[in-house]
Amino acid sequence: MAKVVLWGSLSRLADGRAEFEIDAPNIERMLKALGDEAPKLKPVLDQGVTVSVDGTLYRLDRYRKIDPDSEIFILPKMAGG
């Protein structure tokens, strides 16, 4: 199972829980499983977040494969310009 860490203030929406173990084949399924485990977090996940998988940031590639030993960080959506 991949280790998923909520960064910054996101853990408040998961009742203070900052780490999860999620079994999912890709980012899309991981975010759904995370929302199922932390329902208050689901609206933020649906609006969009930045996901770091093993040190690489993904924002739009929701079908990026996740390995069982991946380390994942969920960050609030980052705006760029």
What is the average pLDDT across 29-53?
95
CATH, domain 2-76, list 3.40.50.720, 3.40.50.2300, 3.10.20.30, 3.90.470.20 = 3.10.20.30
Kindly indicate the confidence band of residue 60, based on its pLDDT and cuts at 50, 70 and 90: confident
Q: Structure pTM?
A: 0.90
The domain ranges of the chain are 2-76
Are 71 and 5 in contact by the 8 Å Cβ rule? The answer is yes
For residue 77, what pLDDT is reported? 79
Residue type present at position 55: G
Q: Where residue 81 falls among pLDDT bands split at 50, 70, 90?
A: low
How far apart (Å, rounded) are the C-alpha atoms in residues 63 and 66? Answer: 9
User: What is the rounded average pLDDT of the residues 58-70?
Assistant: 92
Residue 78 pLDDT grade (very low, low, confident, very high; cuts 50, 70, 90): low
